[in-house]
Structure 1
Amino acid sequence: MNFSFSLNDQELEKGAYKMKKRTYHLLLMTALLACGSLLGACGAGNQEEAAGDKPREQVFRMNIASEPPTLDPGQAQDNNSNTIINAIFEGLTRKGPDGEEVPGTAESWTISEDGLTYVFSLRQDAKWSNGDPVTAKDFEYAWKRVLDPSFAPAPPYAYQLYYIKNAEAYNLGELDQAEDVGVKATDDYTLEVTLENPTPYFLSLMSFQTYFPLHASVKDNEKWATQPETLIGNGPFKLASMTKGQKIEMVKNDQYWDQDNIKLEKVQMSIVNSSATELSSYRNNELDYAGHPVGNIPTDQLAAVKEQMPDELNIKGISSTYFYVFNTTQEPFDNVNIRKAFSMAIDRQAIVDKITQGGQLPAYGFVPPGIKGKEEEFRTEVSENYFEENIEEAKQLLEQGMKEKGYTELPAVTLIYNSDDNHKKIALAIVDMWKKNLGVNVSVQNQEWGVFLKNRTDLNYQIARAGWGADYNDPMTYIDIWKTGSGNNDTGFSNAVYDQLVEDAYATDDHTQRMDLMAQAEKILVQEQQIVMPIYYYSSVSLIKPWMKGIGIDFKGDIDFTRAYVE
């Protein structure tokens, strides 16, 4: 999933980094588990001191740094949108406190012995926010809507449904009939799904927004997701008001099947693209939560925060990657040696030590720690020695690439990033490294989040900031986004060998073989073609008031406030 935020890192000794980094990450995860996955229970903080400012109502207040581009589950591709969508809608499953799938709109399911057929039984008390029953047909319609080749703009996550039999063929126009897709409502409360191949993580996908149901009313209103009156959801909350560029308010959905376990009456979100303002609002008790995943804590104030609010500060290693992407269809980055030169010429350790300072780890691969592998973590089993930072070699590669392109000097280069002061600090540091180490001048340009996403999707850039968090706990969530035609492949990269490795990994039920195939694909992505420039593996850095309980942060850093409450 695309991340709009920027996070921070605590210092690690540079010389010992390679031996210590995975141990460090595991210690972060272990410390979090010792507190429990519900961060609100980890320490009382300054509860007595702040008691006078404690909200008397069951209201949760947070900030999101950017306007969500869409609240349509079929079109969303970013963390801002999905933080809201995950509260308004619910899939067949949802994520439990430990990050594993638990029953959601489906109360139970069966899986055939060959792993190809799933039969979901829906709750008969599941209702839409307007009181209509949620039926299996609502799921069938929503999934086939995303796959419909005439649906525009093309949903970026359509490929996430390709696990379903004939879904890819229908989406690509190779099949004319939606009826041929392997999802069918056999009655109002039974959904039968047939897969192309056994998919061990399919149940976890059922809590992903592209698999959410839609109310039948969306068929007659293209703008249904822009107004509270027409945005009908089936989740714990419903949209109450939305003031563009200023605030979003949600209220408890009194039609939700599990409403007795939803304690919050309101969720109030400000929209302020300033980490300094967000932190100030938190200090003034105007926010109950600040930071990751849709806000920021200023890196230059993190040391003070650690000293002044240690019991409210949460730092957690998460399975997400911060990186830059190269547009392989535009000069000069249509040349692999120039791409490699730019990637090898930066100092990742200096970035996490001096700029981000919040628990991040320098990245030399794309799949982050915390993602399952054969028996251990993928990143532990597959060494990320795809490249090394080497200024002299980078200079040679740049010279070689320029000769191959016939350049006497490098064309003008611009790096774009979505507006955020922490992204800006990282961008300025990196272009300074390129200037110092390669002798090249790169200009930087900040863009509003929605504009930035569109420019990336339209390949209207040369280098762009990016972040990716796992949509499910398997390396494939990092690998298949770069397949030819993927809605999230915004680099122009197309490689037949890479595509075949992905297809072969899809097709086999041999777990060891799957991991080996994905490791080969990552090598092409990061080493052979250098399509992405890994920078660091994220950490989650956040502040939470001592009176807020039940706030969950999952393995990839997503926030779940649906079962939170004020104590």
Structure 2
Amino acid sequence: MQKINRGSRFNKSVRVGVLLCLLCTVIVAGGCGSGESNVASGNREGILYWGNGAEPQELDPHIVTGVPEHYILIALLEGLVQKDAATLQPQPAVAERWRLSADGRVYTFTIRASARWSNGDRLTAHDFVWSWMRALTPKLGNAYAYMFNPIVNAQAYATGELTDFSAVGVKALDDLTLQVTLDNPTPYFLQLLDHYSMFPVHRATIEKFGSIGEAGTVWTRAGNYVGNGPFALRQWDLNKKVIVEKNLLYWDAENVRLSGIHYFPTENLTTEERMFRAGQLHRTSEVPVGKLDFYREQQPDSLRIAPYLGTYFYRFNTRLPHLADVRVRKALAMTVDREAIVEHVLRGGQQPAYSITPPDTLGYTASSDLRYDVLAARELLAAAGYPDGAGFPPVDILYNTFEQHRKIAVAIQQMWKQALNIDVTIRNQDWKVYLDTQANGNFQIARAAWIGDYVDPNSFLDMWIADGGNNRTGWSDPDYERLVSDEAPSAGSVEQRYAILGEAESILLDAMPIIPIYHYVSIHLVHPSVKGLPGNLLNNPNFKHIYLQAEPAAP
């Protein structure tokens, strides 16, 4: 899924409110009004205050693609399985159990008889069939439709080649039995099922406000939203906060220890860090680079840094004439000094990236010839018709509003000027606008990132097929698609599968429609009262297991 980091439109009134609250924190012990901070009252009332990084694009699981939306959707909705927050192993969720056929192709899920929607309606296997049909409806434009590709005929239906959904390998055998048939044994299939793109949605609610293929209707607003997760949507104040409260009709409500969650978008990391220090947040989305040493030395118990299965990269729009030339793309990629970026700009333990898939992803590591080589890059640019940058067309880097993205863009802007003598402008847009700009192809080079949706190299490679909704580069290659979509899924062993995926990634890196820059670590500030939030490779919380436990007051 797309890593946002920042990009909300935190309006003027909210900024003023935050500053006033911080001022009150200095004058009054605790915070504004009641004299009690969010953290103090939240610990007492079971309310988690969560820095979410951005205003969500939407709360429709079949539309969105980002991390900020993910954190809200996993509270409001639940799939057939969930991942253990520590081990990431699939566990029963809406499905209380399942069995797999001897040939590894047919899963049969038993839906919990106690599963309910937040309005009290019974949740059945038919809800999953209809929801997955919606997710694959071409008119809806689900960028994650390719997640369903392991299922028989799912890709054909999503592309419009097939119009009869009954031919897709998803069947409700009865109200509580769902059968899913795959083209080939898929070792990561269960991991897919807790991704929001495969969550069920409430059919009657969708149809009340629009058609099955209609995006952007008001069904996702508070008062309309019907979910099946551990929490229910109570309030969505655009550009301010999203509030969810415990769903008493959730099948496992007795084990949900939080009473609610307040999600806050923040305009910049400095504001968010101040909110944390003022006791207004239990957890931040990230940490300002300039504050890392302070927390390492003064408050190490609040600083959480962990490995994170993600890659920061730039997308090329290969539809543009000068960026359609692979020599130009390689020259630009070879003059990004990744070591300097991670050492001097980021300083959080990130690793330079020379492939899209992070090294040792479940035992897979790509082979890459990408290197920092200014002389070779100048030769390539000259061969493309731009000796010493002469005649190179105007080019810009697009990024979503966030100070760290700006710093990286400025660094790369300077690197390209110094190494290749080309002039580059940089421009920023808010998260929603930025997403639309990329989706419509109105960019030249765009900042991007990808966090694994599941722990498998396929999560980083299957999106670059021609019809992949998250590709957005204009690049495609039939050999790449054959390897990823046909040969890898039917490989006879893990070793064979990884070899095929490695061959595909070599094609991708040789064509260079993207510039890998660095591999992520997750960096957050977390209040010591937050329990049940272990780090994991996907940085994926399980909100139903989180609870708040204030430390005893000092005598």
2:297 is matched with 307
The residue identity in structure 2 corresponding to 1:280 is R
Q: Does residue 78 of structure 1 match 2:49?
A: no
Matches within 5 A, 1:390-539: 390-402=373-385, 408-502=390-484, 503-526=486-509, 528-539=510-521
Shift of 1:356: 0.6
SS in 2 for 1:248: strand
Q: Percent identity?
A: 37
2:17 is matched with none
SS in 2 for 1:472: coil
Instruction: Please say which of residues 474-483 and 225-234 is displaced more in the overlay.
Output: 225-234
CA contact (8 A) 2:39 2:282 kept: no
2:28 is matched with none
Shift of 1:473: 1.3
In 1, distance between residues paired with 2:458 and 2:515? 19
2:319 to 326, 329, 353: 329
CA contact (8 A) 1:164 1:182 kept: yes
Shift of 1:386: 1.9
SS in 2 for 1:455: helix
In 1, distance between residues paired with 2:131 and 2:311? 30
SS in 2 for 1:311: helix
The residue identity in structure 2 corresponding to 1:57 is E
Matches within 5 A, 1:38-77: 55-77=43-65
Deviation sequence 1:183-238 (CA, Å, 0-9, x none): 01111110011111111111111111111111122123132443122211111111
Q: Does residue 170 of structure 1 match 2:164?
A: no
In 2, distance between residues paired with 1:429 and 1:195? 46
TM-score by length of 2: 0.89
In 1, distance between residues paired with 2:543 and 2:114? 23
1:131 is matched with 120
The residue identity in structure 1 corresponding to 2:375 is E
2:9 is matched with none
1:11 is matched with none
In 1, distance between residues paired with 2:428 and 2:197? 29
In 1, distance between residues paired with 2:430 and 2:544? 28
2:369 is matched with 386
- Show structure 2 runs of 5+ residues with no match: 7-37, 211-216, 550-555
In 2, distance between residues paired with 1:140 and 1:211? 10
In 2, distance between residues paired with 1:55 and 1:402? 63
The residue identity in structure 1 corresponding to 2:224 is T
CA contact (8 A) 2:295 2:302 kept: no
CA contact (8 A) 1:67 1:245 kept: yes
Q: Does residue 279 of structure 1 match 2:273?
A: yes
2:173 is matched with 186
In 2, distance between residues paired with 1:225 and 1:358? 40
Deviation sequence 1:221-260 (CA, Å, 0-9, x none): 1324431222111111111100011111010010111111
The residue identity in structure 2 corresponding to 1:410 is F
The residue identity in structure 2 corresponding to 1:90 is E
2:538 is matched with 556
2:224 is matched with 230
Deviation sequence 1:112-142 (CA, Å, 0-9, x none): 0011111000000011111111110110001
The residue identity in structure 2 corresponding to 1:210 is S
Q: Does residue 211 of structure 1 match 2:198?
A: yes
1:69–1:54 Cα change, 3 Å: closer
Instruction: Please say which of residues 276-285 and 545-554 is displaced more in the overlay.
Output: 545-554
SS in 2 for 1:493: coil
1:114 to 85, 103, 108: 103
1:297 to 275, 287, 307: 287
In 2, distance between residues paired with 1:228 and 1:102? 29
Deviation sequence 1:445-492 (CA, Å, 0-9, x none): 001111111111111111001110111111111111001111111100
Deviation sequence 1:339-368 (CA, Å, 0-9, x none): 001111121111111111111000111110
Instruction: Please say which of residues 167-176 and 129-138 is displaced more in the overlay.
Output: 167-176
In 1, distance between residues paired with 2:394 and 2:297? 44
Deviation sequence 1:412-466 (CA, Å, 0-9, x none): 0010000001111111111111111111111000011111111111111110011
In 2, distance between residues paired with 1:236 and 1:307? 37
SS in 1 for 2:291: helix
Q: What is the count of residue pairs matched by the alignment?
A: 509
Shift of 1:53: 7.5
The residue identity in structure 1 corresponding to 2:202 is H
In 2, distance between residues paired with 1:51 and 1:137? 42
1:342 is matched with 332
2:32 is matched with none
1:195 is matched with 182
In 2, distance between residues paired with 1:538 and 1:191? 37
The residue identity in structure 2 corresponding to 1:141 is W
Shift of 1:557: 2.0
1:445–1:107 Cα change, 3 Å: same
CA contact (8 A) 1:70 1:76 kept: yes
Instruction: Please say which of residues 210-219 and 274-283 is displaced more in the overlay.
Output: 210-219
In 2, distance between residues paired with 1:369 and 1:397? 28
In 1, distance between residues paired with 2:333 and 2:414? 13
In 1, distance between residues paired with 2:382 and 2:541? 45
SS in 2 for 1:559: coil
CA contact (8 A) 1:182 1:193 kept: yes
Shift of 1:65: 2.3
SS in 1 for 2:110: strand
TM-score by length of 1: 0.87
In 2, distance between residues paired with 1:159 and 1:525? 18
CA contact (8 A) 2:243 2:260 kept: yes
The residue identity in structure 1 corresponding to 2:88 is G
The residue identity in structure 2 corresponding to 1:89 is L
Q: Which has the higher contact order (CA 8 A, sep 6+)?
A: 1
